Structure formats: C-alpha cells, structure tokens
Structure 1
Amino acid sequence: MTSATTPPRSRPPQRSRARRLVPLGIAVWVVLEVWLLTLVGQAAGGLTVFLLLVAGVVIGGYVIKRAGRRAWQNLAGAFQQPGADPAKPAPEAGGGNMLPMLGGLLLMCPGPVSDAAGLLCLFPPTRKILQRRVERLLARQVRHTPGSFGDAFQQARMHAPDGKVVPGEVVRDDEPPAPPRQDPPLPR
C-alpha cells in the first residue's frame, strides 16, 4: 500500500508595497486628471480645454527639445575641452537636464496636475530642491541595495582626476599565456 504525499503548498511570492501601490496611484492620478479637466471644461468651455491640451504638448515638446540640445552641447563642449569630465554637468546647465526633460514630458501629459508638476520641474528654485531630494534618495537607495544597480551608480559617480582615458589591454597574471601560433610553411 502506497500513500501519496502532497507536496507542501508554495505561497506565491510577496509583492513589495510599491508594486501594489503604484498601479493604484496611477489610477487615482488618471481619474483626478480627467475630473479636473471636466471641471475646467464646464467652467471655461471645451475649446479652452482643447487649446490648453495643445499648448501643453507644444510647450512640452519645445522644453524637451531645448533640454536635449543643451545636453548635447554640454557633452560636445566637454569632449572638446582638454581635461574636462564629460560625465559632470556644466555649471550653466543648472545641474543637468533630467528635470527639465521630465518637466517637458509632464507638460505633454494631458491634465492640470501633471502640468503643475511639470512647471515645478522647470521653475529653477523648485528644480534645485527636487534635484537635491532625488540625489539624496538615489544615494540612500544605493547604500541599502548592493548589487548591479548600486555598483553601476557608484562607478558612474567616480571620476578620474584628470579625465584621461588610456587605451590598452588588460593582462592578467593568473591566466597562462596562450601558446604562440605556428603556421605551416608556405609552398614555393
């Protein structure tokens, strides 16, 4: 007589709190945007809402294009200057182009809440505050999560003192050298 044993039930992997709350937050954000757009439409009219949406797309596209052009010019200028580090943003760039690009993208999203958030990313005093908070958050995240992202972020933050790249090849002492290739003699 044999008895069949049932394997222990495996529980599904637990999802993190962020993985559970992000979809809910996005749904709430979309409902809020639609509700506010309908309120603006009732107060000012449908044509006004349409013009606001078109203006947001045009202004957001312009901001993204301008920030991308500035990033490209900073990168090209860093490569042209000897001893400059291309990974460091130029001082006149205002600390990088990530937040202006995010602001332009938020302006392109329809709705007054995303427009307000996009304008906060573009306004210089609030952009500096946001940038400091994002840097602090990333630095804290890197310290608490060792692994590929943390290591890559730390390596990206490290800068060579002179910014020079020396071409060459890596020679390891622990590997035996490959035997020299011996070709047969060519027939005459």
Structure 2
Amino acid sequence: MTTGASTPMSTSRPRRSRLRTFLPLGLAAWLVLEIWLLTVVAGAAGGGTVLLLIVAGFAGGAVVVKRAGRRAFRNLQETLQRQQDGTAAASERGGRGNGLMMLGGLLLMIPGLISDAVGLLLLVPPVQKAVGGFAGRTLDRKMREAAPGGFGGAFQQARMHRPDGKVVQGEVIRDDVPGHGPQEPDAGPRPPLNR
C-alpha cells in the first residue's frame, strides 16, 4: 500500500493536424469515385473496355516510370562524373521533371480513370513546369516560416523511448552553444528520466 501522493497524468492528447484528419477521408472519397466511374464506363462500353483501359494504363505507366528512372540515373552519373573531373555544376537539362514524370507514371499504373487523367496531365511539360514551380515555392515558403536559421527546430526536438514503451517528449540542449547547457562543470552521471 502506498501512501504518497501521485501526480495526475494528463489525459488530453495533442490536436491532430488537418492533413491527418482529412487525408483518409479524401483517399476514401477518391477510391469510391474511381470505382463508381469504372462501373459507369463498364455499363456504357462494356467490361472488356474497362479491362483494356486498366491494362493499357498500367503498361503505359510502367514505360514512363522506366524512362524517367533511366533519365534520372543518367543525370546522376553525369553529375558524379563532372564532380570527379572538377568541372562546373551540372546543367538543368531534364533533371527537374524526373520526379513529376515518375509520379505521373505511378498514377497511370494505379487502376482508375481519374488517376490516369492526372497522371497524363503530369506528363505534359508545361504542367510539369507549373506544378514543379508551385511545389518549389511552397516548400521554400514553409522552410522560411519554420525558422529563420534552419529547419525550424526540427533537429532540436527529441523523443526518448522508455523501456516500458512510453515516449517522453523533450528538447535537445547543446553544451557547445554559448548560453545553453549546464553552467557548472560536469558533476558526473545524471540520474535517469524515470519517476
């Protein structure tokens, strides 16, 4: 029997982000829409046509992914060769659209008409340029908003896993940065974080 006062555990959980809330709902709605659209096309044109569309989309997507992968590997080899030779930086020739081309190929490989349409759109060079520019600007803005000096403290957060499986959220304190860390000399080993 323990007579000591125990500290109450906080039962409130952190709020979920909007992405974690709406992404599963969006994926479920997209899946239902894809299935409905395939049944509409099957009713209008027949099941063989739908099967042919799915097989053609998969084969076309495989060809696109293979081509984009080869191009990305060739660009990597050229970049490494230039670095070994000590020449100037590699040119941007075709290196930027490989990721979007692979994404387009993967969307073509997923069975469904909407994913095929989006995949085909991502293969059009002006669309690739617009989507790539938008994604780059969004990433730059998010990085600037996070923190002026780096990744917004992403590397300053730490999670310690206790032996019982609980996760203890913490913060990294660096001794080599002035103004942070212990002010007195190291007094030996520190006690564990257990209660």
Same fold? TM cut 0.5: yes
CA RMSD after TM alignment: 2.4
Aligned to 1:145: 146
SS in 1 for 2:104: helix
Q: What CA distance in whole angstroms lies between the structure 2 residues aligned with 1:84 and 1:119?
A: 35
Q: How does 1:38-187 map to 2 (within 5 A)?
A: 38-81=39-82, 82=85, 83-85=87-89, 90-93=91-94, 95-146=96-147, 150=151
Q: Any gaps of 5 or more consecutive residues in structure 2?
A: 153-195
Cα deviation for residue 145 of structure 1 reads 2.4
Q: In structure 1, what residue type is equivalent to 2:40?
A: L
Q: Which one has more relative contact order, counting CA pairs under 8 Å at least 6 apart?
A: 1
Task: Kindly provide the CA deviation profile for residues 33-88 of structure 1, in whole angstroms up to 9, marking residues without a partner as x.
Answer: 001111111111000000100001100000000000001111112222332436xx
Q: Number of aligned pairs?
A: 146
Q: What CA distance in whole angstroms lies between the structure 1 residues aligned with 2:92 and 2:116?
A: 27
Q: In 2, are the aligned partners of 1:78 and 1:84 still within 8 Å (CA)?
A: no
SS in 1 for 2:93: helix
Aligned to 1:172: none
Q: What CA distance in whole angstroms lies between the structure 2 residues aligned with 1:9 and 1:79?
A: 53
Structure 1 segments, 4+ long, off by >3 Å, are: none
Identical residues among aligned pairs (%) = 51
Task: Kindly provide the CA deviation profile for residues 154-176 of structure 1, in whole angstroms up to 9, marking residues without a partner as x.
Answer: xxxxxxxxxxxxxxxxxxxxxxx
Length-normalised TM-score, structure 1 = 0.70
* Greater strand proportion: 2
Q: Any gaps of 5 or more consecutive residues in structure 1?
A: 152-188
